[in-house]
């Protein structure tokens, strides 16, 4: 039995209960502030500036996903455009992350494409890179279509994400090669069935390294999103052994997770980015963070018990 998998699936299942959601929203604010920059753009920009002081760049993400109306999707687009405009005047690297379902993918692929175009038309002239996040497996195909269309339309400052726990990912990577994508590689944080995803952490880790090395050999720029010291060490060893320069890849970690490791990597000359989420719709994001790290569950329980 894979205890990591059992733990993750159990937490995600319980987190979907409305009563549990209401309880955590009311009592776990301390844990929220550990992983979420705040509810406002001003708070998020303050966190980004603090990270820059330590040589760590920010990936800013206005939290939200799975909108249920076009009006809600357009409101999120306005929020992201406000972020893009605020970043335009900043002297540090400018980088935002968006989720397709935040922009109405579940309502209409055409709507999501329209709203993404609007974001990129403002982002690119202002030097803002846009990462198109990957969500759960039923949405992978549509997300990849959106990315390919945007690249075919001439947008260059847009990247994509692949998840190593999905069986399909190596094929997706090979299919993307003609687009020379700026690739973010993650293990995957959603609850996926055994029919579509590896269920053993060792296999997921092995696939992660296999895909990352394949992408580097193909000449892609790769953002390795992981906190695992063993995976980070292997990426460092591999790139040094094969003479892959540090400007061909980077490390990405979550805000609030291993901050000292982030700073240490930056001091070693690696490009390091911290994923900085903000906004009011933080619950789904926090649920996935709890599912990833058992110690986070203990922090939640302590918050609920008033400790």
Q: List active site positions.
A: 133, 184
Q: What beta strand segments (E) does 117-259 contain?
A: 128-132, 158-163, 182-186, 221-225, 249-254
The four Cα atoms 226, 228, 232, 238 give a dihedral, to 10 degrees, of -110
CB 62 within 8 A of CB 79: yes
Best CA proximity match to 181, nearest among 201, 152, 158: 158
CA 101 to CA 163: how far, in whole Å? 17
Residue 154, sorted as left (phi over 0), alpha (psi -120 to 50) or beta, turns out to be left
Distance (Å, rounded) from C-alpha 52 to C-alpha 95?
13
Beta-bridge mates of residue 222:
183, 249
How is 99-132 classified by DSSP, letter by letter?
-GGGGTTTT-HHHHHHHHHHHHHHHGGGTEEEEE
Structure tokens at 186: 């993650």
Write out the two tokens for 167.
């069986």
Task: Please name every residue paired with 57 in a beta bridge, in sequence order, or none if there are none.
Answer: 273
Contact indicator for 65, 102 with CB cutoff of 8 Å: yes
Residue 256 · residue 35 · CB < 8 Å: yes
Quote the tokens at residue 58: 């920010």
Give burial (CB, 10 Å; 0-12/13-18/19+) of 195: exposed
Contact 275, 252 (CB under 8 A): yes
């Amino acid at each position: 039995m894979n205890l990591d998998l059992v733990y993750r699936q159990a937490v995600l299942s319980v987190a979907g209960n409305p009563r549990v959601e209401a309880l955590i929203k009311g009592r776990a604010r301390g844990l929220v502030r550990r992983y979420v920059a705040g509810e406002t753009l001003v708070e998020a920009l303050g966190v980004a500036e603090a990270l820059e002081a330590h040589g760590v760049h920010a990936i800013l993400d206005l939290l939200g996903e799975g909108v249920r109306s076009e009006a809600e999707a357009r409101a999120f687009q306005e929020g992201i455009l406000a972020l893009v405009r605020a970043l335009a005047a900043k002297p540090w690297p400018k980088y935002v992350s968006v989720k397709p379902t935040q922009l109405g993918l579940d309502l209409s692929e055409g709507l999501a494409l329209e709203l993404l175009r609007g974001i990129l038309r403002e982002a690119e002239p202002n030097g803002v890179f846009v990462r198109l996040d990957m969500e759960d497996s039923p949405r992978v195909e549509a997300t990849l279509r959106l990315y390919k269309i945007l690249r075919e339309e001439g947008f260059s400052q847009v990247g994509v994400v692949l998840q190593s726990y999905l069986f399909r990912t190596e094929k997706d990577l090979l299919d993307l090669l003609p687009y020379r994508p700026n690739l973010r590689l993650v293990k995957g944080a959603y609850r996926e069935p055994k029919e579509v995803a590896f269920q053993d952490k060792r296999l997921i880790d092995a696939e992660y390294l296999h895909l990352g090395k394949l992408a580097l050999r193909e000449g892609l720029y790769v953002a390795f999103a992981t906190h695992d010291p063993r995976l980070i060490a292997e990426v460092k060893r591999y790139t040094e052994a094969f003479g892959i320069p540090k400007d061909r890849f980077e490390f990405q970690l979550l805000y609030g997770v291993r901050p000292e490791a982030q700073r240490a990597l930056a001091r070693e000359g690696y490009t390091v980015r911290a994923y900085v989420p903000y906004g009011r719709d933080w619950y789904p994001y926090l649920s996935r963070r709890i599912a990833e790290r058992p110690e986070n569950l203990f922090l939640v329980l302590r918050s609920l018990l008033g400790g």
